[in-house]
Chain A
Amino acid sequence: MTNKRIPFILVCSLLLVPLSAFIHLSTGEITVSLSDFFSAFFDFNADNSTHILIREFKFPRIFMAILAGGGLALSGMLLQTLFNNPLAGPYVLGINSGASLIVALTLMSGFEFFGTDIGLIGSALIGAFLAGIIMMAVAHRIRSQISLLLVGLMFGSFTSALVSILESISGAESLKAFTLWSMGSLQQVEFSQLPLIGFVFICGVILSFFLIKPLNMLVIGERSAGLLGLKISQVRFLIMGITSLLAGLITAYCGPIAFVGLAVPNLTRILLRTQNHRWLILGNLFFGAIFLLLCDSIIQLFSKQIALPINAFTSIIGAPFVVFILMRKLK
């Protein structure tokens, strides 16, 4: 019975992804027909404003919402399994903050290279990875899940303070560049950048599928998994590498997006009621994509009334969800 229920939910959620994308497409200020949408790709005319609108504005935004939602949810799930903590996530554990710090350092250094795609991805990835390593070292000493969360938040505050100091001493141009980046956005990616982003994302997803077995073993606890022959340190390193790759990639292009990596994995567990990571990986990818597409659709819907950054909106939804999880745990 359970075996059928999970695939059914996953198939439904898979179908909901294009449906959410369609909702996103139709909630924009300028609505386009599906025929226009497809002709913008298969019969592109550079002089046609509608084609440019679809190719350069609408499609990259939808594409990034799917990738960012799925990627952040997946990296959140990996962290939650690694730390055996449902409150773990790239934002809460300071992974995004680490990426932000290194991006701030590199952007404000003024070197041209760091303004390029590779430079941006590289610096965000290094920052995310370093933050992950620090949090792993802390988690090794701290057993309390709440304490780890607090350390993560402190780490986030610490890096924010460093970023503020950097901002105060940087030049006007680099400060402007960093401030705009830190606002978070799904709309800054160009059509030509999508293949590279898509490629890195797929690499991250494929690598995470190779970790299904070790992830399932980690659910019973590191010590027990070790007794069953799991090379814990190797698995930790791999999980942190994939998380940094996904969270770093998304942070580099979209800026920090809060709470998706925390809320969606918990929601997925509640809906699927399984600890099998084969299903959880797929579930997080689909639910994450749907969640961010719908969040961005709501932003689009009210864009004339209020200019809301995506990061602010996900926080509005995500923060109460974290409180809900905490309440459940305390009960």
Chain B
Amino acid sequence: MRMNNIKFFLALTCIFLLLVVSACSQKDAQLIQVSKSKNSCKYSKWLQIYEGEKSIEIKIIHPDHPERIYSFSCIKIASKNLSQSKEYILIPCKNIAALSATHIGMLSVLDAENTICAVSDSKLVYNPSVKDGLQSGAILSLGESQEISMEALLSSGAKTIVHSAFSGDFPHREQLKKMGLTCIPNFDWREEDPLGKAEWLLLFGYLTGKEELAKNIISEITQSYNQILKNVKNQSKEKVIFGNFIRDYWYAPAGESYNAQLIQDAGMNYIYRKTKGTGSVTIPMENILMDTKDVKYWINPGFSTKAEIVKSNPKAKNLNCYNNGKIYCYSHDVNKFWELSAVHPHLVLADLYSIITLNSPKNLHFYKELR
């Protein structure tokens, strides 16, 4: 009797082990299936998209915690037998809450503004059809991006929320998930490569079912960008400064930042190109005066006239580049820049290249000389 019991337990253990092994091998097979497919993003550091046979896997890596990966499976047909451990997005998405200017810009490039049902910071919207939607009430304004109105969000009927995740996860993410809403963090603003930032267009392409169009646009952008890079043979001799004073300090793009990459690609002789960091560098007021003694170009002061610069900080009129140089900025049409520059890095590059190589560049896409 005891022997029989032992045999019974051994058999049971073997069956259990077999089940576990087979489950693991199935899971491995699934993983292999996804990982075997090629990542559609070539330049992006934080976005990965894999096209599987049955679904599209989107993986978003948190830049500050790379071990934290947001995974989404895009499916075309809803099913009741879906795994509870995964987060699914039914594509094409019909109701997207686009909570950043760049998101609106990317959706507009795909001609998918009609999928937008809610936006934040509505005062800063540039896109005419989104503006019309806001005016007619078809698109809801959710307030400022840092203080989103949850009630307005829920009443907008949004099913997919794309947010910039400046301060971590979207508020009430888990509760919203239970209500069937998917929150997708967008870290395009943390990309250091301009083409990597533009590649976030693919995310919107897959979400809206316009992935082929998105791929074609990215391909064209990459070609144009590389074409300009070929034209840039040598670094310009003229020195360039970026940024402006914020009260007592000058904030400029750090040497390893997204902007610094664009500046370097345009062949500009940026004076802080050797600084470390991917954000911005802080320079004391005194240093700026001495560092910019022979700087001829001042880019992105954040104002649209020279008078506005001096009004903001009277010390600016002591700078050589203010008195004897040329100043360019996008501030005359700032909303256009924030909405479209991320998805058109080739146009920003073309503008910067024209500024540094031509005497009086005309037909700039985003920039204008300050008078």
Contacts and interface: CB of A to CB of B under 8 A. Distances in A.
Contacts of A28: 284, 286
B247 A300 contact: no
A52 B289 contact: yes
A53 B287 CA distance: 9
B289 A183 contact: no
A177 B314 CA distance: 13
A146 B249 CA distance: 38
B247 A30 contact: no
B312 A177 contact: yes
B287 A29 contact: yes
B27 interface: no
Interface in A150-196: 176-177, 180, 183, 185, 187-188, 190
Contacts of B311: 115, 177
Contact of B290 (A30, A176, A303): A30
A183 B246 CA distance: 10
Chain B interface size range: 10 to 19
A28 B286 CA distance: 8
A52 B287 contact: no
B227 interface: no
Q: Could you tell me the dominant secondary structure of chain B's interface residues?
A: helix
A309 B248 contact: yes
Contacts of B247: 180, 183, 185, 187-188, 309
Contacts of A176: 312
Interface of A: 28-30, 49, 52-53, 56-58, 115, 176-177, 180, 183, 185, 187-188, 190, 300, 303-304, 307, 309
B290 A53 contact: yes
A180 B293 CA distance: 26
B313 interface: yes
B282 A307 contact: yes
4 A-B pairs with least C-beta separation: A303-B284, A307-B249, A307-B282, A187-B248
B228 interface: no
A180 B309 CA distance: 13
Interface string B282-297: 1011110110010000
A190 B312 contact: no
Nearest to A55: B318
A264 to B, nearest CB: 22
Contacts of B315: 56-57, 187-188, 190
A58 B312 CA distance: 19
Contact of B313 (A29, A30, A183, A188): A188
A300 B284 contact: yes
B161 to A, nearest CB: 24
Nearest to B314: A190
Question: Which of B246, B248, B285, B312 is packed against the most chain A CB atoms within 10 Å?
Answer: B248
B125 to A, nearest CB: 14
Contacts of A29: 284, 286-287
Interface in B4-49: none
A29 B314 CA distance: 20
Contacts of B314: 188, 190
A183 B314 CA distance: 16
Nearest to A50: B290
A57 B312 contact: no
B306 to A, nearest CB: 16
A124 to B, nearest CB: 18
A180 B289 contact: no
